[in-house]
Amino acid sequence: MVFVMREKIEELLQQIANLSSNNEKEIESIRLSLLGKKGEITKLFEEFRTVSPELKKEFGQKLNILKNTAIQKIEELKANINKSATNTKSQTDTSMPADTLSLGSRHPVSIARQEIVNIFRKFGYEVAEGPEIEDDYHVFEALNFPANHPARDMQDTFFVSNNIINPLLLRTHTSSVQVRAMESMPLPMRIICPGRVFRNEAISARAHCIFHQVEGLYIDKNVSFADLKQAILVFAREMFGEDTQIRFRPSYFPFTEPSAEVDVSCNICKGKGCNICKGTGWLEIMGCGMVDPNVLEASNIDSKTYSGFAFGMGVERIAMLKWQVNDLRHYFENDLRFLKEFNTNHSV
Ligand code: DAH
Protein backbone atom coordinates (compact mmCIF):
# COMPACT_ATOMS: atom_id res chain seq x y z
CA MET A 1 0.00 0.00 0.00
CA VAL A 2 2.71 2.47 1.03
CA PHE A 3 4.66 1.51 -2.04
CA VAL A 4 1.68 2.35 -4.30
CA MET A 5 1.21 5.69 -2.51
CA ARG A 6 4.85 6.66 -3.02
CA GLU A 7 4.55 5.93 -6.73
CA LYS A 8 1.28 7.84 -6.98
CA ILE A 9 2.83 10.93 -5.37
CA GLU A 10 5.78 10.84 -7.83
CA GLU A 11 3.40 10.45 -10.76
CA LEU A 12 1.21 13.37 -9.69
CA LEU A 13 4.23 15.63 -9.13
CA GLN A 14 5.31 14.83 -12.69
CA GLN A 15 1.84 15.52 -14.10
CA ILE A 16 1.55 18.84 -12.22
CA ALA A 17 4.93 20.00 -13.60
CA ASN A 18 3.70 19.35 -17.14
CA LEU A 19 0.30 21.03 -16.73
CA SER A 20 -0.56 23.86 -19.08
CA SER A 21 -3.77 25.71 -19.88
CA ASN A 22 -4.95 29.16 -20.83
CA ASN A 23 -8.55 28.49 -20.17
CA GLU A 24 -10.18 29.45 -16.89
CA LYS A 25 -12.74 26.61 -16.91
CA GLU A 26 -10.13 24.03 -17.76
CA ILE A 27 -7.93 25.24 -14.90
CA GLU A 28 -10.84 24.96 -12.50
CA SER A 29 -11.52 21.35 -13.53
CA ILE A 30 -7.81 20.57 -13.09
CA ARG A 31 -8.03 22.06 -9.61
CA LEU A 32 -11.07 19.93 -8.77
CA SER A 33 -9.44 16.77 -10.14
CA LEU A 34 -6.50 17.30 -7.78
CA LEU A 35 -7.76 19.17 -4.74
CA GLY A 36 -11.57 18.88 -4.94
CA LYS A 37 -13.55 16.62 -2.59
CA LYS A 38 -12.92 13.65 -4.84
CA GLY A 39 -9.59 14.90 -6.11
CA GLU A 40 -6.47 12.73 -6.36
CA ILE A 41 -4.60 14.61 -3.65
CA THR A 42 -7.61 14.68 -1.33
CA LYS A 43 -7.88 10.91 -1.76
CA LEU A 44 -4.22 10.49 -0.86
CA PHE A 45 -4.78 12.51 2.32
CA GLU A 46 -7.60 10.09 3.20
CA GLU A 47 -5.33 7.13 2.61
CA PHE A 48 -2.69 8.82 4.79
CA ARG A 49 -4.80 7.86 7.81
CA THR A 50 -3.95 4.22 7.19
CA VAL A 51 -0.20 4.82 7.03
CA SER A 52 1.73 3.24 9.87
CA PRO A 53 2.94 5.70 12.56
CA GLU A 54 6.65 5.29 11.75
CA LEU A 55 6.04 6.35 8.13
CA LYS A 56 3.62 9.18 8.91
CA LYS A 57 6.37 11.81 9.09
CA GLU A 58 7.81 10.93 5.69
CA PHE A 59 4.44 10.70 3.95
CA GLY A 60 3.04 13.74 5.74
CA GLN A 61 5.91 15.83 4.34
CA LYS A 62 5.59 14.31 0.86
CA LEU A 63 1.82 14.95 0.72
CA ASN A 64 2.19 18.53 1.92
CA ILE A 65 4.79 19.21 -0.77
CA LEU A 66 2.47 17.66 -3.35
CA LYS A 67 -0.49 19.75 -2.22
CA ASN A 68 1.51 23.01 -2.16
CA THR A 69 2.99 22.29 -5.57
CA ALA A 70 -0.51 21.75 -6.99
CA ILE A 71 -1.86 24.97 -5.42
CA GLN A 72 1.13 26.97 -6.67
CA LYS A 73 0.81 25.55 -10.20
CA ILE A 74 -2.88 26.42 -10.38
CA GLU A 75 -2.15 29.97 -9.20
CA GLU A 76 0.51 30.27 -11.89
CA LEU A 77 -1.85 29.08 -14.62
CA LYS A 78 -4.50 31.59 -13.51
CA ALA A 79 -1.99 34.44 -13.42
CA ASN A 80 -0.92 33.64 -16.99
CA ILE A 81 -4.43 33.98 -18.35
CA ASN A 82 -4.73 37.36 -16.67
CA LYS A 83 -1.50 38.48 -18.29
CA SER A 84 -2.41 37.41 -21.83
CA ALA A 85 -5.85 38.98 -21.35
CA THR A 86 -4.26 42.36 -20.60
CA ASN A 87 -2.00 41.97 -23.62
CA THR A 88 -4.86 41.32 -26.00
CA LYS A 89 -6.69 44.21 -24.47
CA SER A 90 -3.85 46.67 -25.07
CA GLN A 91 -3.51 45.52 -28.69
CA THR A 92 -7.13 46.15 -29.46
CA ASP A 93 -7.83 49.12 -27.25
CA THR A 94 -9.21 51.58 -29.76
CA SER A 95 -9.18 54.38 -27.22
CA MET A 96 -5.35 54.36 -27.12
CA PRO A 97 -3.86 57.42 -28.90
CA ALA A 98 -2.28 56.53 -32.24
CA ASP A 99 1.49 56.74 -32.71
CA THR A 100 2.40 59.97 -34.43
CA LEU A 101 4.29 59.39 -37.67
CA SER A 102 6.51 62.23 -38.67
CA LEU A 103 6.36 62.43 -42.44
CA GLY A 104 9.26 63.74 -44.47
CA SER A 105 8.71 66.47 -47.03
CA ARG A 106 10.04 66.90 -50.53
CA HIS A 107 13.24 68.86 -50.93
CA PRO A 108 12.69 72.40 -52.27
CA VAL A 109 15.09 71.75 -55.17
CA SER A 110 13.07 68.73 -56.13
CA ILE A 111 9.81 70.73 -55.84
CA ALA A 112 11.21 73.49 -58.07
CA ARG A 113 12.59 71.02 -60.64
CA GLN A 114 9.26 69.26 -60.80
CA GLU A 115 7.39 72.53 -61.25
CA ILE A 116 9.66 73.55 -64.13
CA VAL A 117 9.30 70.15 -65.80
CA ASN A 118 5.51 70.12 -65.33
CA ILE A 119 5.12 73.53 -66.98
CA PHE A 120 6.98 72.41 -70.09
CA ARG A 121 5.31 69.00 -70.15
CA LYS A 122 1.98 70.81 -70.55
CA PHE A 123 3.32 72.21 -73.83
CA GLY A 124 4.32 68.82 -75.16
CA TYR A 125 7.95 68.68 -73.99
CA GLU A 126 9.23 65.20 -73.21
CA VAL A 127 11.70 64.49 -70.39
CA ALA A 128 15.11 63.31 -71.63
CA GLU A 129 18.04 62.20 -69.53
CA GLY A 130 21.74 61.64 -70.04
CA PRO A 131 24.72 60.43 -68.01
CA GLU A 132 26.36 62.55 -65.29
CA ILE A 133 29.76 61.13 -66.24
CA GLU A 134 30.04 62.32 -69.82
CA ASP A 135 32.73 62.68 -72.40
CA ASP A 136 34.29 65.86 -73.74
CA TYR A 137 32.51 65.34 -77.08
CA HIS A 138 28.95 65.60 -75.67
CA VAL A 139 29.71 68.34 -73.12
CA PHE A 140 31.90 70.58 -75.31
CA GLU A 141 32.93 69.40 -78.77
CA ALA A 142 29.48 68.75 -80.29
CA LEU A 143 28.23 71.99 -78.70
CA ASN A 144 30.69 74.06 -80.72
CA PHE A 145 33.06 74.94 -77.87
CA PRO A 146 36.36 76.12 -79.34
CA ALA A 147 39.33 73.97 -78.36
CA ASN A 148 40.72 76.63 -76.04
CA HIS A 149 37.41 77.65 -74.40
CA PRO A 150 37.93 78.42 -70.68
CA ALA A 151 35.03 76.14 -69.62
CA ARG A 152 37.15 73.19 -70.74
CA ASP A 153 39.80 74.19 -68.27
CA MET A 154 40.65 72.05 -65.23
CA GLN A 155 39.57 74.98 -63.11
CA ASP A 156 35.95 74.55 -64.12
CA THR A 157 35.63 70.89 -65.02
CA PHE A 158 36.14 67.77 -62.91
CA PHE A 159 37.92 65.29 -65.14
CA VAL A 160 37.42 61.58 -64.53
CA SER A 161 39.99 60.27 -67.01
CA ASN A 162 42.99 61.97 -68.56
CA ASN A 163 42.47 60.53 -72.02
CA ILE A 164 43.68 63.31 -74.35
CA ILE A 165 41.35 62.60 -77.29
CA ASN A 166 37.94 62.44 -75.58
CA PRO A 167 38.37 62.57 -71.79
CA LEU A 168 35.61 61.52 -69.41
CA LEU A 169 34.38 64.25 -67.09
CA LEU A 170 31.49 65.20 -64.82
CA ARG A 171 29.11 67.17 -67.00
CA THR A 172 29.29 70.90 -66.34
CA HIS A 173 25.85 71.54 -67.82
CA THR A 174 22.79 69.58 -68.96
CA SER A 175 23.26 70.93 -72.51
CA SER A 176 25.08 67.62 -73.12
CA VAL A 177 21.67 65.90 -73.02
CA GLN A 178 20.65 68.01 -76.06
CA VAL A 179 23.40 66.31 -78.04
CA ARG A 180 22.40 62.83 -76.86
CA ALA A 181 18.78 63.57 -77.82
CA MET A 182 19.67 64.99 -81.25
CA GLU A 183 21.69 61.82 -81.94
CA SER A 184 18.89 59.45 -81.05
CA MET A 185 15.43 61.04 -81.25
CA PRO A 186 13.24 61.62 -84.30
CA LEU A 187 12.41 65.17 -85.48
CA PRO A 188 10.59 67.35 -84.64
CA MET A 189 11.60 67.19 -80.97
CA ARG A 190 10.71 69.07 -77.84
CA ILE A 191 12.65 67.95 -74.79
CA ILE A 192 13.24 69.06 -71.25
CA CYS A 193 16.30 67.67 -69.46
CA PRO A 194 16.54 68.01 -65.69
CA GLY A 195 19.74 66.83 -64.02
CA ARG A 196 22.71 67.31 -61.74
CA VAL A 197 25.79 69.16 -62.93
CA PHE A 198 29.25 69.62 -61.46
CA ARG A 199 31.73 72.49 -61.52
CA ASN A 200 34.99 73.00 -59.78
CA GLU A 201 33.86 76.14 -57.95
CA ALA A 202 34.50 77.48 -54.48
CA ILE A 203 31.32 77.07 -52.41
CA SER A 204 29.66 80.38 -51.53
CA ALA A 205 26.21 81.93 -51.10
CA ARG A 206 25.90 82.06 -54.91
CA ALA A 207 27.88 79.04 -56.14
CA HIS A 208 28.25 75.34 -55.40
CA CYS A 209 30.25 72.54 -56.98
CA ILE A 210 27.12 70.38 -57.43
CA PHE A 211 23.85 71.90 -58.54
CA HIS A 212 20.87 71.22 -60.78
CA GLN A 213 19.90 72.49 -64.20
CA VAL A 214 17.02 72.08 -66.58
CA GLU A 215 17.81 72.25 -70.25
CA GLY A 216 15.19 72.70 -72.96
CA LEU A 217 15.41 72.11 -76.69
CA TYR A 218 12.90 72.50 -79.49
CA ILE A 219 13.78 71.60 -83.07
CA ASP A 220 11.38 71.74 -86.01
CA LYS A 221 10.99 73.43 -89.37
CA ASN A 222 10.64 77.23 -89.12
CA VAL A 223 11.32 77.64 -85.40
CA SER A 224 12.04 81.31 -84.77
CA PHE A 225 13.30 83.59 -82.01
CA ALA A 226 9.69 84.76 -81.55
CA ASP A 227 8.76 81.16 -80.62
CA LEU A 228 11.55 81.15 -78.05
CA LYS A 229 10.35 84.41 -76.51
CA GLN A 230 6.81 83.13 -76.31
CA ALA A 231 7.85 79.85 -74.66
CA ILE A 232 9.95 81.67 -72.05
CA LEU A 233 7.24 84.25 -71.35
CA VAL A 234 4.64 81.54 -70.70
CA PHE A 235 7.08 79.65 -68.50
CA ALA A 236 8.00 82.77 -66.48
CA ARG A 237 4.37 83.66 -65.83
CA GLU A 238 3.48 80.12 -64.75
CA MET A 239 6.50 79.98 -62.46
CA PHE A 240 6.58 83.46 -60.95
CA GLY A 241 3.07 84.80 -61.38
CA GLU A 242 0.77 86.23 -64.03
CA ASP A 243 2.09 89.78 -64.13
CA THR A 244 5.73 88.74 -64.52
CA GLN A 245 7.56 90.65 -67.28
CA ILE A 246 10.58 89.28 -69.12
CA ARG A 247 13.47 90.90 -70.96
CA PHE A 248 16.16 89.45 -73.21
CA ARG A 249 19.75 90.72 -73.03
CA PRO A 250 22.16 89.79 -75.84
CA SER A 251 24.77 87.31 -74.66
CA TYR A 252 27.17 84.67 -75.95
CA PHE A 253 27.08 80.88 -75.73
CA PRO A 254 29.06 78.71 -78.18
CA PHE A 255 26.03 76.54 -78.98
CA THR A 256 23.47 79.26 -79.76
CA GLU A 257 23.39 82.11 -82.25
CA PRO A 258 21.97 84.60 -81.45
CA SER A 259 22.22 84.04 -77.68
CA ALA A 260 20.49 85.83 -74.85
CA GLU A 261 20.14 85.94 -71.12
CA VAL A 262 16.62 86.25 -69.74
CA ASP A 263 15.59 88.36 -66.77
CA VAL A 264 12.22 88.34 -65.05
CA SER A 265 10.75 91.33 -63.28
CA CYS A 266 11.52 91.09 -59.55
CA ASN A 267 8.54 89.46 -57.86
CA ILE A 268 9.45 90.94 -54.47
CA CYS A 269 9.54 94.67 -55.22
CA LYS A 270 7.42 94.36 -58.39
CA GLY A 271 10.13 96.06 -60.41
CA LYS A 272 10.71 99.03 -58.08
CA GLY A 273 14.14 97.83 -56.93
CA CYS A 274 15.08 95.97 -53.72
CA ASN A 275 18.10 94.21 -52.24
CA ILE A 276 17.21 90.87 -53.88
CA CYS A 277 17.29 92.39 -57.39
CA LYS A 278 20.06 94.80 -56.27
CA GLY A 279 17.90 97.78 -57.08
CA THR A 280 17.51 96.88 -60.76
CA GLY A 281 13.96 95.49 -60.67
CA TRP A 282 15.15 92.46 -62.71
CA LEU A 283 16.41 88.96 -61.88
CA GLU A 284 18.39 86.77 -64.25
CA ILE A 285 16.83 83.33 -64.72
CA MET A 286 18.38 81.59 -67.72
CA GLY A 287 20.48 81.53 -70.87
CA CYS A 288 18.96 80.74 -74.23
CA GLY A 289 19.22 81.21 -77.97
CA MET A 290 18.71 79.76 -81.43
CA VAL A 291 20.63 76.48 -81.81
CA ASP A 292 23.83 77.20 -83.74
CA PRO A 293 23.76 75.49 -87.18
CA ASN A 294 27.15 73.91 -86.32
CA VAL A 295 25.49 72.12 -83.39
CA LEU A 296 22.67 70.78 -85.60
CA GLU A 297 25.16 69.62 -88.24
CA ALA A 298 27.39 67.92 -85.64
CA SER A 299 24.43 65.64 -84.88
CA ASN A 300 23.57 65.15 -88.57
CA ILE A 301 20.54 67.46 -88.60
CA ASP A 302 20.16 69.46 -91.79
CA SER A 303 20.42 73.08 -90.61
CA LYS A 304 18.90 74.35 -93.90
CA THR A 305 15.65 72.51 -93.24
CA TYR A 306 15.53 72.60 -89.45
CA SER A 307 16.04 75.27 -86.84
CA GLY A 308 15.56 75.25 -83.09
CA PHE A 309 15.91 77.04 -79.83
CA ALA A 310 17.51 75.97 -76.56
CA PHE A 311 17.51 77.29 -73.05
CA GLY A 312 19.09 76.31 -69.77
CA MET A 313 18.42 77.35 -66.20
CA GLY A 314 19.73 76.59 -62.72
CA VAL A 315 17.11 74.94 -60.52
CA GLU A 316 18.57 76.29 -57.26
CA ARG A 317 18.56 79.78 -58.75
CA ILE A 318 14.88 79.50 -59.74
CA ALA A 319 14.09 78.13 -56.26
CA MET A 320 16.01 80.98 -54.59
CA LEU A 321 14.07 83.56 -56.57
CA LYS A 322 10.73 81.87 -56.09
CA TRP A 323 11.07 81.46 -52.32
CA GLN A 324 13.41 84.39 -51.67
CA VAL A 325 16.23 82.31 -50.22
CA ASN A 326 19.39 84.40 -50.37
CA ASP A 327 22.01 81.72 -49.70
CA LEU A 328 22.37 78.73 -52.03
CA ARG A 329 24.07 76.70 -49.29
CA HIS A 330 20.77 76.30 -47.43
CA TYR A 331 19.74 73.86 -50.14
CA PHE A 332 22.63 71.52 -49.37
CA GLU A 333 22.82 71.56 -45.59
CA ASN A 334 19.63 69.61 -44.88
CA ASP A 335 18.78 71.68 -41.83
CA LEU A 336 15.33 70.39 -40.88
CA ARG A 337 14.17 73.86 -39.80
CA PHE A 338 14.75 75.02 -43.37
CA LEU A 339 13.39 71.90 -45.09
CA LYS A 340 10.19 71.95 -43.00
CA GLU A 341 9.30 75.35 -44.43
CA PHE A 342 8.53 73.50 -47.66
CA ASN A 343 6.31 70.93 -45.99
CA THR A 344 3.42 71.61 -48.30
CA ASN A 345 1.32 69.47 -50.56
CA HIS A 346 3.24 70.06 -53.75
CA SER A 347 2.01 67.61 -56.35
CA VAL A 348 4.46 65.21 -57.95
N1 DAH B 1 24.57 75.51 -70.56
C2 DAH B 1 24.49 76.89 -70.11
C3 DAH B 1 25.15 77.00 -68.75
O4 DAH B 1 25.35 76.02 -68.12
C5 DAH B 1 23.08 77.35 -70.02
C6 DAH B 1 22.46 77.53 -71.37
C7 DAH B 1 22.58 78.74 -72.03
C8 DAH B 1 21.81 76.49 -71.97
C9 DAH B 1 22.04 78.93 -73.27
C10 DAH B 1 21.25 76.68 -73.24
C11 DAH B 1 21.37 77.91 -73.87
O12 DAH B 1 20.60 75.72 -73.87
O13 DAH B 1 20.84 78.07 -75.08
O14 DAH B 1 25.45 78.08 -68.33
Which positions of the chain have pLDDT values less than 50? Answer: 346-348
Per-state percent for the chain, helix, strand, coil, to nearest 5: 45, 20, 35
User: Counting atoms of ligand 1 from 1, which one is nearest the CA of 175?
Assistant: 1
Atom of ligand 1 nearest to the CA of 217: 12
Look at residue 85 in the predicted model and tell me its pLDDT.
65
Measured in angstroms, how far is the CA atom of residue 288 from the centroid of ligand 1? 6
Would you state the pLDDT for residue 56? 82
CB 197 within 8 A of CB 172: yes
Task: Indicate the pTM of the whole model.
Answer: 0.71
Provide the pLDDT for residue 234: 97
| Helices within the chain (DSSP H only) | 2-18, 24-35, 40-48, 53-92, 108-122, 136-139, 175-184, 225-240, 293-298, 315-323, 330-333, 336-339
Ligand 1 atom closest to the CA of 216, numbered from 1: 12
Contact 128, 185 (CB under 8 A): yes
pLDDT of res. 347: 43
pLDDT of residue 8: 85
> How would you class 225 by CB atoms within 10 Å of its CB: exposed for 0-12, middle for 13-18, buried for 19 or more?
middle
CB 114 within 8 A of CB 214: no
For ligand 1, atom 5, which residue shows the shortest CA distance?
Answer: 312
The ligand 1 atom nearest the CA atom of 255:
13
- pLDDT tens for 209-261 read 999 999 999 999 999 999 999 999 999 999 999 999 999 999 999 999 999 99
Residue 313, classed as helix, strand or coil, is strand
- Ligand 1 centroid to 139 CA: how many Å? 11
Q: Among 225, 255, 262, which is best to mutate for testing ligand 1, by the most ligand atoms less than 8 A from CB?
A: 255
Q: Give the pLDDT score at 344.
A: 62
Contacts of 134 (CB under 8 A, 6+ apart): 168, 169, 170, 171, 176
